[in-house]
Amino acid sequence: MAQMGLGYGSEFQLLRFMGRHRHELERTIIDALQEKQQTINDKNFDWLDFEYSDINKVITGDRELCGLSFLEKKIDKGLYDKITSALQKAGSFISNWQHWDAVFVLDDCFYFVEAKAYTGELYSTNDHGGSSKNEILNFMRENMQPYGIEVDENWLDFYYQFANRISMMAFLNQNGLNAKAIYIYFENGYNKRQVIGEKIEPVSDKGAGKMEFDEAIQKELSYLNIEKANLSELVVHTYINATPKDIK
């Protein structure tokens, strides 16, 4: 994520709901999973803590969980060694490869969170160059092949983050860790305002509703040529209205 906005944006909304609307957030997640016929036996969430960072580099003094090193304290050594060994064979690009918005464990499954507050956040490109690009493409191909999905160079373009996330979930599951990406879309979650005098004045509103997010997701899936693929083992999408209109 970029620098957190005050009162708007995906990072703010995620932290807001994790801290102030936790029960609603967790109910929404469970409902989304059960809607996909996933059985949840243990409904206790274990949210992993962030790490600390230099306050001169990050305004909050916190750092997102990066890569997979945090798993060392959460899973048995044999499984962790298996995962890290397999990942190291994939190439040199893997060091702190991903930055996770949040991670939680629910019913023995690790969920890797991506938060979105407007449709533009679905776009992302691959910044790796040279041999790393080919290594990443090979990693994606090898891990998506068991799901009957063909990967092409489009996976490194406009929707690289989503392609990256589902490929990593496929890798983790194939190496023995029950894992899934969860995308949380905050409807009406990007209403930028500022305090002027004693009033709160609007600055810009890029927020989207469920319909707009769904349209953007379909474009994403179509571009990656996976609109008909069964991705239920790898990813789940859920929606929360960050700004209910009936609140006075």
Residue 1 lies in a domain: no
- Return the H-helix or E-strand segment holding 30: helix 22-35
d(CA 228, CA 112): 23
- Region 125-131: mean pLDDT is 71
b/e burial code for range 159-172 (CB count within 10 A of at least 16 → b): bbbbbbbbbbbbbb
d(CA 97, CA 119): 23
Residue 180 lies in a domain: yes
Say what the pLDDT of residue 247 is: 64
Mean of per-residue pLDDT scores for the chain: 91
| pLDDT tens column, 230-243 | 999 999 999 999 98
Q: In this predicted model, which residue has the larger pLDDT, 25 or 60? A: 25
| pLDDT tens column, 77-118 | 999 999 999 998 887 666 667 899 999 999 999 999 999 999
Residue 5 lies in a domain: no
pLDDT band at 199; cut points 50, 70, 90? confident
d(CA 115, CA 42): 24
pLDDT band at 1; cut points 50, 70, 90? very low
Does the structure show a pLDDT above 90 at 200?
A: no
pTM greater than the 0.95 cutoff: no
d(CA 35, CA 97): 31
Residue 170 lies in a domain: yes
| Range with the poorest average pLDDT among 10-14, 94-98, 154-158 | 94-98
Q: In this predicted model, which residue has the larger pLDDT, 224 or 207? A: 224
Number of domain units in the chain: 1
- Region 30-48: mean pLDDT is 93
Residue 3 lies in a domain: no
Coil/strand/helix, residue 213: helix
Residue 111 lies in a domain: yes
Residue 248 lies in a domain: no
- Return the H-helix or E-strand segment holding 123: none
Residue 218 lies in a domain: yes
Which residue has 């305004």 as its token pair? 59
pLDDT band at 122; cut points 50, 70, 90? very high
Range of the domain at 115: 10-241
